[in-house]
Amino acid sequence: MLLDLGGVFVEGARTKMAGRLMKAGQTVVANLGGALERATNATGAEARARDEGELPAFAVVHEDEDLVVVEKPAGLLTAPTPESDRNNLAGLLARTAGGKRPIFVVHRIDLDTSGLLVFAKNDDTNRALSELFRAHRLERSYLAVVEGAVSEALKLIEHPVGGKRAVTHVELVERFGARATLVRARLETGRTHQIRLHFRAEGHPVLGDATYGRRGPNDPPRMALHATRLAFVHPRTGKTLDLESPWPPDLSGWLESLRAA
């Protein structure tokens, strides 16, 4: 089953061949983790097809000859991982064109985060978009529900992440008493888990964050974090693409329960 998923590497190369002959001294690495836990407990093409059939649906919000912008649901990986090269958004997009369309991963959002992602469809666009992200020359905003009552004075969070400068701009959207606050977080930089780490540092972890948060009576059905806006200059046309995704349906009922309470 682990071979089916693509979680086995021989000398650094992914392999799915159970009968492969080994040479003395070769290194085999087996990656165990979430992909194995989420997979059907069987092997073969039918089992992997069942896995794919149970994935949450994504939506394409913009596509042209150079790039595609997708609304990723929570529970779907952005790209292949060491654990598996299957059941990820990049792979699904490539397969919609019969595997003939190249898909380049420009950036990622976490498994349990939903929202907007852009993928490149050729080398030139991949390089151009990657430079936009590297230079932070684009707009990326998230909606998040965080623990506690966030002060209106909190406009900027600036704490290093991974030893690098990290800056998040904060806008208070709605308070739910002392229990929780809906905020809009705009990334000036884009470090891994930046929003989650920044709000934890301020004493307001994102609700439902199993890694950096804490369990409580107001927990959502999954992490309350959504990539709501993505705006950038199209590398070929020079026109600004400004796309928005509303608060996701799978968290809407929970959000209403906070309002009612």
The residues annotated as belonging to the active site are: 110
Structure tokens at 222: 């999954």
Cα–Cα distance, 146 to 201 (Å, whole number): 12
Query: Are the CB atoms for 83 and 5 separated by under 8 Å?
Result: yes
Helices (H), the chain: 2-5, 34-38, 45-53, 89-95, 123-134, 194-201, 249-260
Residue 80 backbone class (left: φ over 0; alpha: ψ -120 to 50; beta: rest): beta
**Residues with Cβ < 8 Å from 94, sequence gap 6 or more?**
101, 102, 103
Structure tokens at 47: 């089992």
Query: Are the CB atoms for 67 and 119 separated by under 8 Å?
Result: yes
241 membership: H or E segment, kind and range? strand 240-244
DSSP 167-205: EEEEEEEEEETTTEEEEEEEESS--TTHHHHHHHHTT-P
* DSSP letter (8 states) at residue 57: P
Query: Are the CB atoms for 52 and 39 separated by under 8 Å?
Result: no
